[in-house]
Amino acid sequence: MKKFLFILAIIQISLPALAGKLTIKSQPVGAEIFINVGGRPVRLGVTPYESDLSEVIRTYVKSNSFMMEMKKAGHLPFRILLAKTEDVDLELSANLELDPAVSNHKEHDLLMNELFDVQKMIRGRNFRDALGKLDELEKKHPTLSIIPELKATSYYMNKEVENALSYYRKAFALNPDNVDAYRMKVYLEKKLGVDSEVK
């Protein structure tokens, strides 16, 4: 019996320790992976990434915990604090959030495209569709003066002068620096003989 235990002990000692696998994925792919070493980031690679966890620990980790970070242009960084361990498989999966500045740019681009479409409709004298589209945009962007200004232009070109004046006034009220809306408001007030103080 003692001989058997001794042989078993020798087999266990001679077998390599089970090494854990480190797998890192991100959405979107291609995020750079950094590990914090002594207060400075060291680049490990890009996602998807796979490595021997014990190798990473031995090479970079000097304390009981360590910080990993994923970065991709146009996205907020993803950081995670991990405990030092070598004998487990570690799989990290991160959904990188779009940077709000980038998200806002995309939203603005979409709005600009929709406004260009409206201008084409107005130039094509398709006032009904232009006004319908502007109604939708006004619900999403109630504080933009360009929307009531384009509504006013549609009404003016369709010879609905009173409606045009109402929307030029609204555009000017939303943005007192909107020179075009102000000029048209003053022009139509004089043309219609109405008091400029009436809103």
Which strands make up the sheet holding 78-83, listed edge to edge?
Answer: 40-46, 32-37, 65-71, 78-83
Beta-bridged to residue 42, according to DSSP, are: 35
- Residue 71 carries which DSSP code? E
Go through 7-34 and write b for each residue having 16 or more CB atoms within 10 A of its CB, e for each that does not: eeeeeeeeeeeeebebbbbbeeeebbbb
Q: Is the pTM of this model over 0.85?
A: no
Fold designation for 17-95: Immunoglobulin-like (2.60.40)
CA distance 162 to 159: 9
Fold designation for 100-192: 1.25.40
Residue 40, classed as helix, strand or coil, is strand
Backbone angles phi, psi at 197, to 5 degrees: -80, -20
Q: Please give the structure tokens belonging to residue 173.
A: 């009220």
User: pLDDT of 66-120, one tens digit each?
Assistant: 888 999 988 889 998 888 876 788 888 888 888 877 667 778 888 999 999 999 9
User: pLDDT of 139-165, one tens digit each?
Assistant: 999 999 999 999 999 999 999 999 999
| Residue spans per domain, the chain | 17-95, 100-192
